[in-house]
């Protein structure tokens, strides 16, 4: 067993490296507020069980799943709506269209196109193959285009 101060430093380094991405990924699943809550729950769990979690092959992926599990009671994602009288920086119907996607499609679209993550990074974090992620991405983009009335560039 490592001295507690070493464990503390290791966990702090982990949080410094992974907290933002974990929060962003969980926000893609649950919306901004619940995503922050899920990330906080996951990191709290990580701290309590750091001795075991730190030895895992993919501790960030494991804590991502812990964060998802922490929110099982509440199913509907909540994305902040665009104010009607504000000049939108996004398509006003986008929050509702994203909420209508399946969870897997929403994660793929938001993480890859919204936050610019590499497909392999999203696949590793969510525990799916890149080809599976690509399928969710293609289907999610197709549904968004259909709902928003956007033509695909050919």
Max CA-CA distance within the chain? 59
Residues 6+ apart with CB under 8 A from 89: none
Residue 80 is assigned to a structural domain of this protein: no
Closest by Cα among 76, 72, 71 to 41: 71
* Stretch 64-81: mean pLDDT: 74
Residue 76: inside a domain: no
Question: Per mean pLDDT, which range of 2-11, 15-24, 61-70, 107-116 is the poorest?
Answer: 2-11
**Within a domain: 26:** yes
pLDDT at 129: 95
Is the same domain home to 56 and 100?
no
Q: What is the model's pLDDT at position 83? A: 60
Say whether both 105 and 66 belong to one domain.
Answer: no
How many domains does the chain fold into? 2
| Calpha distance 106→122 (Å, rounded) | 12
| In the block, residue with structure tokens 């690509």 | 134
Residue 153, token pair as written in the block: 């560039």
Average pLDDT over the chain, rounded to an integer: 85
What's the predicted TM-score (pTM) here? 0.64
* Residue 14 belongs to a domain: yes
Binning pLDDT at 50, 70 and 90, where does residue 104 land?
A: very high
- Residue 28 has a pLDDT of 85
Task: Domain of residue 111: give its range.
Answer: 94-148
């Amino acid at each position: 067993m490592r001295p507690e101060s070493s464990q503390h430093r290791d966990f702090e380094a982990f949080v410094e490296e992974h907290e933002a991405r974990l929060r962003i990924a969980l926000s893609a699943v649950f919306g901004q507020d619940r995503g922050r809550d899920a990330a906080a729950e996951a990191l709290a769990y990580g701290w309590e069980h750091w001795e075991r979690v730190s030895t895992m092959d993919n501790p960030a992926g494991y804590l991502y799943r812990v964060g998802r599990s922490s929110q099982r009671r509440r199913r509907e994602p909540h994305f902040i709506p665009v104010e009607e009288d504000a000049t939108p920086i996004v398509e006003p119907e986008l929050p509702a269209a994203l909420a209508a996607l399946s969870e897997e499609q929403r994660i793929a679209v938001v993480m890859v196109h919204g936050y610019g993550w590499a497909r392999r990074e999203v696949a590793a974090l969510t525990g799916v193959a890149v080809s599976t992620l690509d399928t969710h991405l293609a289907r999610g983009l197709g549904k968004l285009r259909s709902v928003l009335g956007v033509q695909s560039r050919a």
